[in-house]
Every structure is written in C-alpha cells, then in structure tokens.
Amino acid sequence: MKFSWRVLVLWTLPALVIGFFFWQGAFANVPADMGKNAANTRMTYGRFLEYLDSDRVTSVDLFEGGRTAIVEAVDPDIENRIQRWRVDLPISAPELISKLKEKQISFDAHPMRNDGAIWGLLGNLIFPILLITGLFFLFRRSSNLPGGPGQAMSFGKSRARFQMEAKTGVKFDDVAGIEEAKEELQEVVTFLKQPERFTAVGARIPKGVLLVGPPGTGKTLLAKAIAGEAGVPFFSISGSEFVEMFVGVGASRVRDLFKKAKDNAPCIIFIDEIDAVGRQRGAGIGGGNDEREQTLNQLLTEMDGFEGNTGIIIIAATNRPDVLDSALLRPGRFDRQVTVDAPDIKGRLEILSVHARNKKLDPSVSLEAIARRTPGFTGADLANLLNEAAILTARRRKDAITLREIDDAVDRVVAGMEGTPLVDSKSKRLIAYHEVGHALVGTLLKDHDPVQKVTLIPRGQAQGLTWFTPNEEQGLISRGQLKARITGALGGRAAEEVVFGAAEVTTGAGGDLQQLSGMARQMVTRFGMSDLGPLSLESQQGEVFLGRDWTTRSEYSEAIASRIDAQVRAIVEECYDNAKKLIRENRTVTDRIVDLLIEKETIDGEEFRQIVAEYTDVPDKAQYVPQL
C-alpha cells in the first residue's frame, strides 16, 4: 500500500482535536485560580479535623461547591512550617463552616465556572463537523476525475477536444505513401478555404468522409494533417466517449457536440474509431444495446436530418467498416469513403524518407533496399522499424545507423527478440536441416517467392527462421503459386524425414502444417482449384458480432464434405511427395549448406542461391530482393 502524508494528516488531525476537547471537557469545571492555590499533597478529612481542633489550620479555600478545599496549616513534622494540602470534603458537612467561624479561621468559597455546557456542546459537534469536512475534501478530489461525482451535472456535455486553430504540427507534406487518400482530403481542405469555387458550379460540400484501412496506415495522421492545413475550428473525439452506462447520455453528448460545431462553423469534427458507436443496429444475440443505438440514431439525425449542418465536415476513421450500420454509410452522411491501405514500395520509400529526417543514417544505408525488404509494412511499422534501429545504434554506442542495425531491427519487428544461439548438437543440426529444407525447396520451385535469409538464431518462439520475400506486384495468386507455397512449407518436414527417418520427425513443423492446411482447404472450398470444379462451398462472410470462424456457413452436404477432405489430403500429399523428391535429389548441396549454416548461423539469400547454383539449375525468379 502506498504511503500518503495526506491520509496520515487526515486521520491524525481529527484524533488530536477530539482528544483536546475531551481534555478540556474533563477540566471544564475546575476554576482558573485553583491552579494558583494547588497543593502538592493530599490530606484526609479526618486529619484535617484533627488539625482544625489543634488550631494548626490558618486558612481554607473552598472549591467546586464545597467538595474540595485547599488548606494552609502548620506542619509539626517539618519544624512548624506552613504547608498546603488538598482535602476532599464530604458531600454533607454543614458543621464545617460553623467550626471554621468558631475557630476564627479565614476561609473563602470560590464560585464554580459555568462553561461546562459550552465545552460539552462543542465536544458533541466536533465529530459531525470533521465528518462533513472530510466528505467535502473527498468530493472535491473526485470532481477532478472523468465521470466523478463532481461532474454529475456535466454527463451530457460533449468531451470533444476543441481547438480554434488546430496546431497539430502535421501538414500534408508530413504524410507520405498514401497519395490517393491525400488528394481526396486536399479537396476537403479546399472546400473549407474556398467554398465559392465549388458552389459557383452547383457543387455541394460533402458532409462526411470515412477513412477506412488497417491499423497503422495513417488514418489519424491524415486527420491531423487536415486540421493543420485547413486553419478552421477542429473538434476531435473518440467513438467510445459517446457511450456511457446511463441511458441518454450518449445522445445528449452528440447534440452538444453538433451545437458547438454549428456555433463555430465552418469547422471539422473528427471521430476516431467510429465503429464503437456506429455498429449495426439490432445485431448480435438478444439484439443491440439500447444506449448505443440511441446514440447512433442521434448521430444519424444530426448528420442528415431536418436541420442542415452547413459548413460542418465530419471525418471518421475505422478499421472495421464491415460492422458499421448501412444508414451511416449512405451518401448524405458519409459521402466519401477513402481507403487508406498499406503502402506499395514507392509509398514505403516516401514514408522512410519522412521518418529518416531526424535519424542519423550511415551513407551506406539504402532506403530503397529497406523498402524492398519490408513488403506489407504500414507507416506505423516503418516508423517503429527506424526507431528500433536507432535504439540498437545507441545501445551499441555507434555514431550512425548502419545496415546491420537496420537488418537486426527488421528481424526483431517481424520475428521478435533475438535469443541465445544453440550449441553445436544434434538438436541444432536437426533445426538446420529443417530450415535448409524450406529454403532449398523454395529456391528450386519456379513459382515460389525468393528466399531472403536463413538463420539458426532463435527469435520469439522459433528456434530457426527462413525468410521469403513475396513479389508484391502480383495482385492475383495462381494455383501453381499456391501449390509452390504449400510445397515450400512442407520442405522442413520433408528434410527431417529424408535425413533422419520418419521416427525422428519433430514437432517443429506444427505451425507450417496449420498454415498449409488452411491454404489447401481454401483452394478447394473458395477458389475452385480442385476436381470438385469452380464452386465456392463456404461463405466468405460470417456474423461479425459472433465471430467469423464460428459462424462460417457450410453450404454443402456430408458427401461433399468427405470429397473436400479427400481433395485437401490429395493436394497436401502431392506437395509433400514433391518436397521429399527435391530433398533426395539435392542431398549433397543440402549437407553442404547445413554445415555452412551451423558454422555461420546466418546465410543470406544471394549466397544461398549461389551455392545451390553450383550443383543444379536454379529457376529464374521474377524478382530478386536486394540484400541489406
């Protein structure tokens, strides 16, 4: 538990105050002047009467209504000096006053102070006062938290961040690799800056633009660039901030957001992850969420209802367009859908150029080679790649990022952190044969992607890795290419069986088998690449709210299902036999590469192809990837 001085003070101070008041209450009835006449010793009432009878008492002061007395008397034990004693008198002693008068002893009665009732009242009020004060501080502290009790009256207010002139620090020049999307959105900026150019010819300003694309492709970055370029008021909010546990709060926030936007038109409203609030209505088991659907209904009304939103452009981003409600996607609400996809090689080169501005690169580093090495990388992946390379450079105490740091960063991003290399043992040799089997089969098949690197250095969960770089210019994949990929995936298992025998086959091919089984089944059921003919036997779209894989409908009988299984098995067995044949025919080069791999632990693709070319003909691939 974390120690807090504030909590310590909060609990200690009331205890001290309460103790103080109890102490005051205990002595409330003691007069102030009793302290002056206080006695150090006590005397019994009987001895006091003896001293009184023997004329030793010189004066008496009565306190507390006659219950206590301070007596001055001559003490025979200390040479007849005058001493003070405190005597507790009985409740009823009427003869004492008479006796004092009879002996002509000076006595005085001191009245009791009547402030005990005040201290008692304050003592009773102190605990409620402390309780109310503590609750006040707790409510004051919680009022600063989102959704705290102090904000109970502001539930219906929009939480959109507002900037009169959005200074995001991002311009269109800072966004690279998605030129088509930039052109679409540059028109939006022109609409806001020079609307007369379009209204003069009867053009209507689009009400909404939906950015669609995988995560990390730059949708939010584009929205920041629009805000930075347009120079108009900018509202930004996440779709999840509309929905609360209280019914009607989301709709109230939508109304408040559009009310503020109308007051500041022309302006831009950016809704990130709109699928959190814009999902299909009435979907899923048991229907939809009433609060979310009310929020969506209000959003639909505000975007295109009886009241127009002149000068308000809504930009939304999502990577789940398949779950959005059809009423939200229609023209009049989102007039444009801009696809922000993963960049091609030219786009990756531009993105790398942008992110390399503040990086110190060695002159030998080629951004084009990095772009060719990273097919499928998004803008966020490329930014992370260069950042990882910079971290490795600093860790190795180098002055600039070199090819080695770039190569290690690519491997780390793709496969994970580098592990400890295995010692030279039977296990390491088996893994080497497995990885060389993948690389050799992929190299000897014409339709297979070229090998990039073979390594025995563990990364992530893999004890060894073989990289293939696909040709990204191919938008379509042929049947021969699919079978070549299945054969290459089986190359590792085939090498284990050919070299070590069926009894020594390991579990290392588990992930390969799972991947190739899925490819073979799709060839039969979706792509019509089997003896069953050109038929699509499985629906490609499942219920997104229940899980696509769980709700995939099988549109065939049990007899067809049996034939599908037979076709999948036939494809896999044919590819496996082909892989074993290639390994047997090239056993000599396989053993040589394995010995070299155990020694060097990493072989790049170009060196691998040169060694294989010494023993057999290597088919001419469509594209060889430049080495880093």
Q: Tell me which residues are annotated as active site.
A: 435
Give CA–CA dist 183/340, Å, rounded.
Answer: 12
- What the block records as the tokens of 622 is 């469509």
Phi and psi at 423, nearest 5°, equal -75, 165
Burial class (CB in 10 A: 0-12, 13-18, 19+), 111: exposed
Question: Rounded to an integer, what distance in angstroms lies between the CA atom of residue 324 and that of residue 541?
Answer: 15
Would you say 274 and 220 are in contact if contact means Cβ atoms under 8 Å apart? no
Distance CA 12, CA 2 (A): 17
Q: How far apart, in whole angstroms, are the C-alpha atoms of residue 391 and residue 385?
A: 10
Secondary structure class of 623 (helix, strand, coil): coil
SS3 letters for 449-509? CCEEEEECCCECCECCEEEECCCCCCCCCCHHHHHHHHHHHCHHHHHHHHHHCHHHCCHHH
Instruction: Indicate the helix (H) or strand (E) that contains 600.
Output: helix 587-600
* Cα–Cα distance, 29 to 61 (Å, whole number): 16
> Hey, what amino acid is at 426?
K
Contact 454/469 with Cβ under 8 angstroms? no
Q: Which residue has the tokens 């070549």?
A: 484
Instruction: Pick the closest to residue 404 from 123, 536, 396, 16 (CA basis).
Output: 396
Closest CA to 167 of 225, 249, 213: 225
* 3-state SS assignment for residue 270: strand
